[in-house]
Structure 1
Amino acid sequence: MGNETTNQAQQRVATDEAPAALGAYSQAVKANGFVFVSGQLGLDPATGELAGPSAGEQARQALRNIAGILRAAESDMSRVVRATIYLADIADFSEVDAVYAEVFDSGVRPARVAIGGNAIPKGALVEIDAIALA
């Protein structure tokens, strides 16, 4: 898979390095100098199963999925400017934040929002989306 041009301003981004979309959306869209990555669950792209039972394990895999999508878009995690973390239980915030901090450990950390109390598809504990520079 790779990038598919839909018009001059937008490109669909798709890769096998992340799980296929669960609905009617793209893994990411590249437009106007940015890459808009759809929410990623902690699903292992090889098995389609959650990477583990903890929010931290799922967050680590979600971030790996985002990294794979960004590679397909010719970008990377150092270019992420904004992220949103959706948590099923806000009590998991510290565990997820620690994993997030491992990935974004230097330079300008992305602006971010974390929201708890979410019903996330597939019974996941965490979902993360991102916006990066292309």
Structure 2
Amino acid sequence: MAGSQHDPRLPQTDNPAALAKPGGHYSHVAIANGFVFVSGQLPISAQGDKLADASFEVQAEQVLANVQAALESAGSSIAQLVQVRVYIVDVEHWMSFNQIYARWAGEARPARAVVPVPQLHYGFKIEVEATALV
């Protein structure tokens, strides 16, 4: 985490090197009161490659890898997830996502919502945000 002097009344924020620089005015990670909040992760590689033309499955795997990198940068893990929110462009992808997610999450079973949406930024098919314990 950046900064050596931190006001405990304010959240700590970070943009891990394992993730591409945010495309807007936000941080990938915010930590407050024992929780880590991971901003909505899109299928963008650490090098900044936007995977909008990739299959849904490739996009889902990249997004979950990004969530994991964000969690680990904050000293958290998949096992410490509390809630996951998933936005998918086509509800037909739900079954495929559920299988990919189950492999990724393993024994962890946080609260989760999968929300069909009409579209996502850059034409992506999936976005995932998460909250976990630190």
Query: When the two structures are superposed, what TM-score results if normalisation uses the length of structure 1?
Result: 0.90
Other structure's SS at 2:94 match: helix
Percent of matched pairs sharing the same residue: 30
Counterpart of 1:114 in structure 2 is: 114
Partners of 1:6 and 1:12 within 8 A in 2: no
Counterpart of 2:2 in structure 1 is: 3
Counterpart of 1:130 in structure 2 is: 130
Equivalent position amino acid for 1:98 in 2: Q
- List per-residue Cα deviations over 1:94-113 (Å, max 9, x = no partner): 1111110101121x401000
Partners of 1:19 and 1:65 within 8 A in 2: no
Partners of 1:86 and 1:128 within 8 A in 2: yes
Aligned residues, how many?
A: 132
- List per-residue Cα deviations over 1:88-128 (Å, max 9, x = no partner): 1111111111110101121x401000011232111100000
Higher mean C-alpha deviation, range 75-84 or range 44-53: 44-53
Distance 2:104 2:123 in 1: 24
Query: When the two structures are superposed, what TM-score results if normalisation uses the length of structure 2?
Result: 0.90
Partners of 1:3 and 1:72 within 8 A in 2: no
Unmatched 5+ stretches in structure 1 = none
Distance 1:52 1:133, change over 3 A: farther
1:31 aligns with 2:32: yes
Distance 1:50 1:116, change over 3 A: same
Other structure's SS at 1:71 match: helix
Distance 1:17 1:52 in 2: 22
- RMSD value, Cα: 1.7
Unmatched 5+ stretches in structure 2 = none
Other structure's SS at 1:57 match: helix
Distance 1:52 1:80, change over 3 A: farther
